[in-house]
Amino acid sequence: MKTILTVALLGVAAPALAQADDGPRFCPNRPSLGESGCTTEPGHVQFEVSAVDWTKDETADSREDTVLVGDFQARFGLTRSAELQVAWTPYGHDRVRDKATGLISSAGRVGDVQIGLRQNLRHPDGKGLSFAIEPSVTLPVGRQPIGAGTWGAGLVVPVTYDLTDALNLQLTNDVEAAPDEDGAGRHLLVNEVLGLGLDVSDKVTLNAEVQVTRDADPAGHETRAVAAGSVAWQPFKRFQLDALVGVGLNCDTPDLELLTGGAIEF
């Protein structure tokens, strides 16, 4: 009888111990252009930080380089299926060189603060078919050219689906009341991201994405298109290092974006 009870207790305890060893789920948004519906568990917080984010936009008349340093998002778990998100760019530097005159203008600014709430509607761990709804508001803490100079708002609906154990389909739908370029009002911006994620191993994930953005700014309507590839490496269960390369596909889109950074969960 003692032997039977011991085996039964071990059978009950083993899954619980395995779950404890796994710890809370860890699902960074970065370095993807899109997002997932996965949420941070209550009592935990994820920090996702770009060490450096550099964008180059070159035309026949000028070249613009923008560097963001320490761009971060903090994700606070509220419930099993909801999290609070706070994002901010503590410093950005913009440099524009006029090719005809050689004149250079530059500015260093802080960026705006974005506050959002992600409510998962199916599978908050991001497994299988997972989707969420994510409203947000942008507060004009910074100034142009890094900040917008006025408030904005948006709604993101991320959807992911596991095609296989290693291959994941990602679709991010984004509609915004985006600040006008002159800071006087807001306009419609629609953004779509389609991506594929591949788990090469337990520690390495590759992503390939295409992003199309329609920006109806009164100063000039634009359609931007980007193709991006990224890699994420998790040397530990709740720590990640990552990098992304994005290439503009048309004349309305910046030519190149390079970013590096990482994520950690507490």
Q: Which domains does the chain have, with CATH numbers?
A: 25-265 (2.40.160.40)
Reduce the secondary structure of 88-104 to three states and give it as a string.
Answer: ECCEEEEEEEECCCCCE
Q: Give tens-digit pLDDT for 80-107.
A: 999 999 999 999 999 999 999 999 999 9
**What CA–CA distances, in Å, run from 161 to 29, 183, 210?**
15, 38, 17
Judge contact between 120 and 132, C-beta under 8 A: yes
Residue 195 has a CB neighbour count (10 Å cut-off) of: 22
Q: Residue 111 carries which side chain, given as an amino acid letter?
A: G
Quote the pLDDT of residue 195.
97
Quote the pLDDT of residue 149.
86
Q: Is 116 exposed, middle or buried (0-12, 13-18, 19+ CB in 10 A)?
A: buried
Q: What percent of the chain has pLDDT over 90?
A: 88
State the alpha helices, DSSP H only, in the chain. Answer: 2-22
Verdict on whether the full-model pTM lies above 0.85: yes
Distance CA 131, CA 154 (A): 17
Query: First-to-last CA distance in the chain?
Result: 43
Quote the pLDDT of residue 22.
61
Judge contact between 160 and 168, C-beta under 8 A: yes
Name the residue among 224, 170, 177 with its Cα closest to residue 194.
170
Mode of pairing for the β-strands spanning 113-122 and 91-98: unpaired
**What CA–CA distances, in Å, run from 98 to 70, 102, 107, 231, 250?**
28, 5, 15, 35, 21
- Mean pLDDT taken over the chain: 91
- The most distant pair of C-alpha atoms in the chain lies apart, rounded to whole Å, by 92
Distance CA 115, CA 132 (A): 16
Distance CA 195, CA 51 (A): 23
For residue 243, pLDDT over 90 is answered with yes
For residue 39, pLDDT over 70 is answered with yes
Q: Give tens-digit pLDDT for 40-70.
A: 999 999 999 999 999 999 999 999 999 999 9
Query: What pLDDT band is residue 114 in, cutting at 50, 70 and 90?
Result: very high
| CA 152 to chain centroid | 18
For residue 204, pLDDT over 80 is answered with yes
